Amino acid sequence: MLIKLLNTLLMVVVALSITGVINRTRAVLAGRRGTRFLQHIYNVRLLLRKGAVYSTTTTILFRIAPCVYLGAALMAFLFIPIANLEPLFSFHGDIILVAYLLAFSRFALILAAMDTGSSFEGMGAAREALYGALVEPALMMGLATLALFCGDSSFAEIFSQGQVVNINFTVVLLLVAYIFVMIMFIEGGRVPVDDPKTHLELTMIHEVMCLDYSGVDLAMIQIAGWLKNSIFAVIAANAVSAVFCFHWEFAAPLAILGAGLSVGIVESLRARNKLSRNTTYILTISALSALVLLVGFLLIQDINI
């Protein structure tokens, strides 16, 4: 039980600090002094104390959607172990549940965005629906690769082996980590695919979907975003630490620093894709994950070609 609590606590720490690392990295690379490390938490606390303005076009669905969005992300979050720790919930086949809970959160936000009747939010919703559909195979194949190595289909079982895997699998596991970081970029609305800081609503994806949210609702959506980021960051960090040192003391800081630094650096160094190139970009990641799975399969079966 204590291990489960430790795991949940660590997950919360990871979720809260990734955004801080991203902001600090961006500030340092841009030569700014930047905000405090915990500024994003203060911002959300501020939002939690505010009232709200709801559009007259919307129905009750618009008010429930943030709760579903956060609730689904929270449930998924509780299934993720850090390295060899035990997660709060776990059962055989939970990796599929996590993927579908994340799909549910996306579903809720798409409907909420369409509920406002705004053309901008419709734009965001349509793009999110398409990108979400295309990234799903990448996510599933990444999970299938992990299942292939560890012989099970629940997160706790996969990562409970508590040992460093065969050195032959290094490249495959590193690529799996890369795929999960990429999925984090896409699901979290980060730079090569989406730009949270863009000044133009026409080119936004995730941010434009929450244009009509304010106060508590917006805070819920932001918290859910942190949770989702941490899910992918921790899976990626677990894959990496399965190569080097499979222990939570290694995996937890790696999740924070790895995810935070990669997002921060990518956002500082490169511009976002042209929107029309995004589908190709995402399909490339899916193709890569199919390739990784195939290579992993060949390695496991000891087939030489």
Partner 1 sequence: MYLYSLLAAIIIALVIFLVPKRYKVWAATGVVSLVALAAMAVAVMAFMGETVELVKFTTPFFGEESLAVDKLSALMLVIISVASVATVLYSRGYVEGYLKRFSEAHISMHYTALVTLVVSMMLVVMSSGGFSFLFAWELMTIASFMLILFEADRQEVRRAALNYLVMMHIGFLFLVVGFVMLFNVAGSANFSAINDYYEHANLLPLFVVLFIGFGMKAGLFPMHIWLPEAHPAAPSHVSAIMSGVMIKTGVYGIIRIMQVENLEGDMLFTIGLIVLVSGAVTGLWGVIFAAMQNDVKRLLAYSSIENIGVILIGLGIAAVGHAAGSPLVGMCGMCGALLHMVNHSLFKTMLFFSAGNIYSKMHTTAMNQMGGLAKHMPITAIMMLFATVAICALPPLNGFVSELLIYIGMFNGVSSGYEVLYSVTGIIVLSLIGGIVVLAFTKLYSVVFLGSPRSHHVAECTEVDNLRIAAMCIPAAFILMIGLAPQYIILPIADVAEQVTNSVNTIAVKHFAPTLSALSYVSIAFVVVVVLLYVIKRSAQRNRVVSEGPTWGCGFTAVNTRMQYTGESFSEGLENIGKPLMKNTVDGRAVDKDEIFPMPHRYRIRHNDKIDSLLGRWWVQMMHRINEYVMRLRTGKVNNYITFALLFFVVVLILTLCGVL
Lookup result for tokens 């918290």 = 223
41 binds partner 1 (CB under 8 A): no
- Enter the tokens of residue 209: 């979907």
Taking the C-alpha atoms of residue 167 and residue 177, their distance in angstroms, rounded to an integer, is 16
Q: Which is nearer to partner 1, 95 or 234 (CB)?
A: 95
Identified binder of partner 1 from the candidate list 9, 46, 52, 291, rule CB under 8 A: 52
293 binds partner 1 (CB under 8 A): yes
290 binds partner 1 (CB under 8 A): yes
- Enter the tokens of residue 142: 């990444």
Taking the C-alpha atoms of residue 96 and residue 157, their distance in angstroms, rounded to an integer, is 14
The least distance separating partner 1 from the CB of residue 30, rounded to whole angstroms, comes to 27
Q: What is the 3-state secondary structure (H, E, C) of 141-163?
A: HHHHHHHHHHCCCCHHHHCCCCC
80 binds partner 1 (CB under 8 A): no
Q: What are phi and psi of 133, to 5 degrees?
A: -65, -40
CB atoms within 10 A of CB 85: 22
Number of residues located near partner 1, criterion CB under 8 A = 83
Identified binder of partner 1 from the candidate list 18, 83, 141, 263, rule CB under 8 A: 141
The least distance separating partner 1 from the CB of residue 64, rounded to whole angstroms, comes to 6
Taking the C-alpha atoms of residue 128 and residue 205, their distance in angstroms, rounded to an integer, is 6
Identified binder of partner 1 from the candidate list 136, 165, 250, 281, rule CB under 8 A: 136
70 binds partner 1 (CB under 8 A): yes
Identified binder of partner 1 from the candidate list 51, 269, 271, 305, rule CB under 8 A: 51
118 binds partner 1 (CB under 8 A): yes
| Residues contacting residue 237 through CB under 8 Å, at least 6 positions apart | 82, 83, 177, 251, 252, 254, 255, 258, 259
12 binds partner 1 (CB under 8 A): no
Lookup result for tokens 């080119």 = 203
CB 50 within 8 A of CB 215: yes
Identified binder of partner 1 from the candidate list 217, 227, 255, 263, rule CB under 8 A: 217
257 binds partner 1 (CB under 8 A): no
Q: Looking only at residues 166 through 205 of this chain, which bind partner 1 when binding is defined by CB under 8 A?
A: 201
